Every structure is written in structure tokens, then in C-alpha cells.
Amino acid sequence: MCGIIGYIGNDNAADVLIEGLKRLEYRGYDSAGIAVLQHGRIEIRRSVGKLLHLEDALKKELLSGTVGIGHTRWATHGKPSEQNAHPHRSGNVVIVHNGIIENYLAHKRRLETAGYRFQSETDTEVIAHLLALHMEEGHSLEQAFRATVRELHGSYAIAGLCVSEPETLVVTKSGCPLVVGQGDKAAFLASDVTPLLAHTRHVTFLEDGDIGTLTPLGVTVTGVDGHPVHRDEVRIDWNAEAAEKGGYPHFMLKEIHEQPQAILDTLRGRYSYDSGEADLPDLAITPDQLRDARSIWIVACGTSWHAGMVGKYLLEELVHKPVQVDIGSEFRYRNPMVQEGDVFIALSQSGETADTLAAAREARRLGAYVLSIVNVVGSTLARESDGVIYTRCGPEISVASTKAFTGQVMALYLLALHVGRVRQVLSVEDGQWWLDQFMALPGHVERVIKREAEFVAMAHRFYEKKNFLYLGRGINYPIALEGALKLKEISYIHAEGYAAGEMKHGPIALIDEDMPVVVLAPRDRLYEKTVSNLMEVKARSAPVIAFVSESEQELEALADCVFRIPNTHALLSPIPFTAALQLLAYHIATLRNIDVDRPRNLAKSVTVE
């Protein structure tokens, strides 16, 4: 989730771009850069780390042009480095990009054969070379840009400029946000409205496939085929802080809503439908090594550990391999029977959690192959792992993890498919069937979060309770744990997650009319058993909040609240169920007036033991 920006007008472009990038820094902050047209040349300044470093670089070498583009990066392809930072240039054109180009490898090979030299490890650089190639064919910037856009698959927001047409900026988008606006003899573009608010309150949100052409006199929008397109101008009344949160009251809610996109991005370009396989090039483990591994270990902390538990159910069911799951702080202090050649998977949003890092180092010392599933590119865990799958969720700012969790589970699905195909437990047709199910997941989550009003109503009924119990079975047992963790960390209500069948071995003693019980009861092979657990709860007068499959009819009479989750295969139900529990926790916490983005005593990344 990078941030892009562009300016064309009469003021100093570098100043406008830097001020704008400050507003976008929350979208990514591992490197930043700007390109400005100055005296008939493109001048680029880039630096790694916070924007401050770029500002320092600019103080040393001032830029004076009035047209430019800028970028703040959250790495997806290629580590955070100056070479990988945007803007990317090819001859006399330069571009910035937010998103993922799925077919970049095919373009890269073709462009290399045509003599283009690549300077970075990014997928973005192909866009710059394609644009240069089409301009060399004699096209105008706008025509060349259209031709380039037609050749791209994936998600993107792109802005470009060239030396030969200094009065024009071009932009487009597909699957990533982009907004344009007009000021006094100036035009602006950005990933969201925050940088534009200092210049104008009237903005236009571009839609997928739109091509925007910006000049100091304004913005015109056309389709990729060149036909004019009308987009309404919108007046924005948000202040800067509200705008950064996209109008949501909290980052947590914004991140919950970003999940369909985060899941899609984690999946994007990582499979081959024809062969029914997952394509995970950074795994760096051979099919033989995967086949021969005696067992798989998964280690993580907190919410990431819950994703790891989902991974256990998934891998054992789909791949038929023994999987052991452990908490980072436990694994490192026991005597784990890891053997040479075992596969060790570390899960972490930040890639900096001390206990997870220490566990991964210990596993490597014992001879395991270390694979990590990480959100922050270039983090310590990613650097120290033999192979990595990045969850492409963008920065997670709220302390309580939401989109990183569903991204991790999505990455585990891809990994399970990969191992299943390598071990030939899954056929080509099985693989294709699973890929179809994976692709439906963003839509399922979308449908859950669209029904937010139902969670608000539930929250009103229960927010004053002091204790909650969450029950789940099978692959939804970890989701019961995750639901309880979300509730306790942001609402300060005591909540416990339990395997539903374990309730009668102790916690049932706690149940009374004052203890809401959240039951996860999808229509799977454990359904009947979960319903009998629910009856036990009901017999003790507890209010029941049941999360059930869409087709469910029976529980209406038993539960006090019923929320229907889109029907999925049981193994895939954790993702939509989790989205529902996140929203329940969020609305309970806000009714209790808690600062949900910064709950007391917690840190986003626990880098100490």
C-alpha cells in the first residue's frame, strides 16, 4: 500500500510533493522519492527510510521545477533500498506506481531482449520501460500511456510524466485508489484526498480504467479507449486526520474494511490456474525438500499464532503432514524435537517480534528450513528466513491486528495448495477447485462488512457485559480464540476462547444469564456437535450470539442473535468468520469509549522478550 502524488502548476513542485507525501506517509514508509522536471531534464531524488531523509537530500540539492510526481513506498517486490524506491525512469519518462503488476516477469523478459536495462528488483520498472518503448514508437505521452495500460495485469495506480511534454501529467488506476483535483492554475493527483486538502476541497475519485490527463488548466478524464468519461466532483469536508483514515473514525475500522483488497493482493499473481498450482517464487525450497520434510512447525505470537493454528488444521487436512504449532515464547525455552530438514514456518505481521525471531533462529540452528509469512518487507524475520511469503496487506497502524491476520491465513492457503500439489495429494482439478474458492473469499468478506449495522445492534445489546465466552470447533477453534483476543484487547472486557467440546470440562461452571456466549457454528461436519454445545449453554440461560452459515435455519429459535456468514467450504470459513468477530469487538469497544487504535498497555510490535 504505497502512496503516490503528482503536481503540475506554477509553484515549486518539490515543496508541494514533499508536503503531500508527509500526509501519505501512513500508507508506507520504507523509502520515498520524487521526480521533478527541471530545465528540460528529469531530476530524481530518492532515499531509504522516513521522509525526513528525502527532505535532507533535497536540502543539499534544491529542485526548482513546477511539475513532478512522488511516492512513499511500502515494499512488495524487492527490498526497501534506494534502487527499488520510486520514481522509476526509462530514458525521458518517469513513473510512480502503487499496486502489483502480475505479468511483470513476461514484460521484463521481453523488454530485456529489446535492450532495456533494469536497475531495480521492482515490478514497477516494467511500466516505465513500456511507456518509453511506446513513446519511441512515435506516440504522444497520452497515447503511449494508454498502450502501456492495456498491457498491464494486476492492481495499480500509476502517474507518469515525460521531458517532451512538460505541460502534462498522466494517471490511471485499477484496483488501487486515486483522486485528482484542480487548484488555481494547478492540478493535483494523489492516492487519497489528504495531500489535496491544503489546495482544494473539490476532488474527483477516478474509477478503474480511467485515464486522467492533468495540465495547469485542469483535469480531463477518458477511458482507456480515449472516449471522454464524466466523473462527478465531490466536496470533501474531512479534516486532515479524518482524511488519513479515509473518513473512518479509527484505523482499525479502516483496516477491517481493507481486508477484501488485502486478501486479493496476497493472492494476486501467485497461482497458475491452468496447472492448479500456487506460484510462490520466494519460497526457495525445492519440491524434494518439501516432500522429504518429516514435519512442519509453525511458530508465532498473539493473533499471528491464531493464524498459525488455522494453518495446522489446513495443512493436516489438505496435505496430510503432521504440523506442530507453538507460541514463540514457549518454543524457545523447551526442547523442541526439530530435525534436520523439517520445515519451520514463522508468522509475523511486523517481522520484528522478539520471541518469534528467537524461535526461528533456534529452528535454523537445529537444521530446519525456515520459511516466514510476513507483512513488512525487509523486516528482520524476512531477512533471516530461507524463504518468505509476503502478505500484501499494507501498513497496519491500529495496534489490534486485523487485515494482517486474514492476509496470513490467505498466505497459508496458498502454501497448503503448493505443498498439496508438490506431494501430489491434490490433483490439477483439485487445485483449480481450491483456487476458485480462494478467489471468492474477498467477496465473502465484503458481504460481511457491508452488514455493519447488525454488529452495531449486537454491540448495543452486550457492551456492558463483564465477561464473554467464545466457542468454536475444528478450524474455527482458533477463530474463537482470535475473537476473544480482539474483544479483550480493545474493549477491556474479559473474554475467553474455548474449543466448544472442552466447555464441559470446566468453563461451563462460569455460565449464567450474564455471560454472553459467542458460538461459531458453520455447516460443517462438526455442526451437530457444536449445536449440542450450544444447547448446554442455553440450558444455563446464557445469551447466545450465533455465527452460522447463510443457509442455516435451525438456530434461529435457540440463539438470541444470529449472524449469517456466506457459505464457504469449512476450511475457508475462518476468514469471513474473523471479519465478523472483528466488527463485533470493534463496535463493543467504541460504545465503551475506548481508544481502539491505541489500547492501554499494548505496543504494535513487541521487540522485547
* Contact positions vs ligand F6R (CB under 6 A): 301-304, 348-350, 353, 356, 400-401, 485, 489, 605-606
Q: CB-wise, 200 or 375, nearer to ligand F6R? A: 375
Q: CB-wise, 1 or 171, nearer to ligand F6R? A: 1
Least Å distance, CB 132 to ligand F6R, is 40
Least Å distance, CB 463 to ligand F6R, is 19
Q: CB-wise, 31 or 353, nearer to ligand F6R? A: 353
Least Å distance, CB 401 to ligand F6R, is 3
For residue 262, the SS3 value is: helix
Reference 348, options 314, 379, 373, 368; nearest CA is: 373
Reference 204, options 236, 174, 228; nearest CA is: 236
Least Å distance, CB 602 to ligand F6R, is 8
For residue 63, the SS3 value is: coil
Q: CB-wise, 212 or 407, nearer to ligand F6R? A: 407
Q: CB-wise, 489 or 597, nearer to ligand F6R? A: 489
Least Å distance, CB 485 to ligand F6R, is 6
Least Å distance, CB 248 to ligand F6R, is 18
Reference 445, options 575, 552, 569; nearest CA is: 575
Q: Could you give the CA distance from residue 485 to residue 431 in angstroms, rounded to a whole number? A: 33
Distance from first CA to last CA of the chain, Å, rounded? 30
* Joined grid coordinates for residue 222: 477518458
Q: CB-wise, 304 or 573, nearer to ligand F6R? A: 304
What element of type H or E holds 141? helix 141-150
Least Å distance, CB 308 to ligand F6R, is 10
Question: Which residue in this structure is represented by grid cell 440450558?
Answer: 539
Whether residue 348 contacts residue 374, with contact meaning beta carbons closer than 8 Å, is answered with yes
Q: CB-wise, 18 or 415, nearer to ligand F6R? A: 415
Least Å distance, CB 444 to ligand F6R, is 22
The 3-state secondary structure of 45-57 reads: EEEECCHHHHHHH
For residue 465, the SS3 value is: coil
Reference 262, options 138, 405, 397, 164; nearest CA is: 405
For residue 600, the SS3 value is: coil
Q: CB-wise, 204 or 349, nearer to ligand F6R? A: 349
* Joined grid coordinates for residue 112: 530485456
Is 561 annotated in the active site?
no
The 3-state secondary structure of 339-391 reads: CCCCEEEEEECCCCCHHHHHHHHHHHHCCCEEEEEECCCCCHHHHHCCEEEEC
Contacts of 528 (CB under 8 A, 6+ apart): none
Q: CB-wise, 484 or 570, nearer to ligand F6R? A: 484
Q: CB-wise, 215 or 353, nearer to ligand F6R? A: 353
Question: Which residue in this structure is represented by grid cell 506431494?
Answer: 423
Query: Which DSSP state fits 565?
Result: E
Whether residue 189 contacts residue 179, with contact meaning beta carbons closer than 8 Å, is answered with yes
Q: CB-wise, 54 or 381, nearer to ligand F6R? A: 381
Least Å distance, CB 380 to ligand F6R, is 11
Is 321 annotated in the active site?
no
* Joined grid coordinates for residue 535: 444447547
Q: Output the CA–CA distances (angstroms, integers) from residue 433 to 264, 275, 427, 429, 492, in the order listed.
A: 17, 11, 10, 6, 42
Whether residue 523 contacts residue 552, with contact meaning beta carbons closer than 8 Å, is answered with yes
Burial 558-590 (b: 16+ CB within 10 A, else e): bbebbbbbbbbebbbbbbbbbbbbbbbbbbbbb
Options 22, 79, 488, 604, the catalytic residue: 604
Options 2, 162, 176, 561, the catalytic residue: 2
* Joined grid coordinates for residue 323: 504440523
Least Å distance, CB 309 to ligand F6R, is 13
Reference 563, options 447, 418, 441; nearest CA is: 447
Residue nearest ligand F6R (C-beta atom): 302
* Joined grid coordinates for residue 383: 531477512
* Joined grid coordinates for residue 393: 496487506
- How many other β-carbons are positioned within 10 Å of the β-carbon of residue 336? 20
- How many other β-carbons are positioned within 10 Å of the β-carbon of residue 464? 10
Least Å distance, CB 576 to ligand F6R, is 18
Question: Which residue in this structure is represented by grid cell 473512518?
Answer: 248
Active site residues: 2, 604
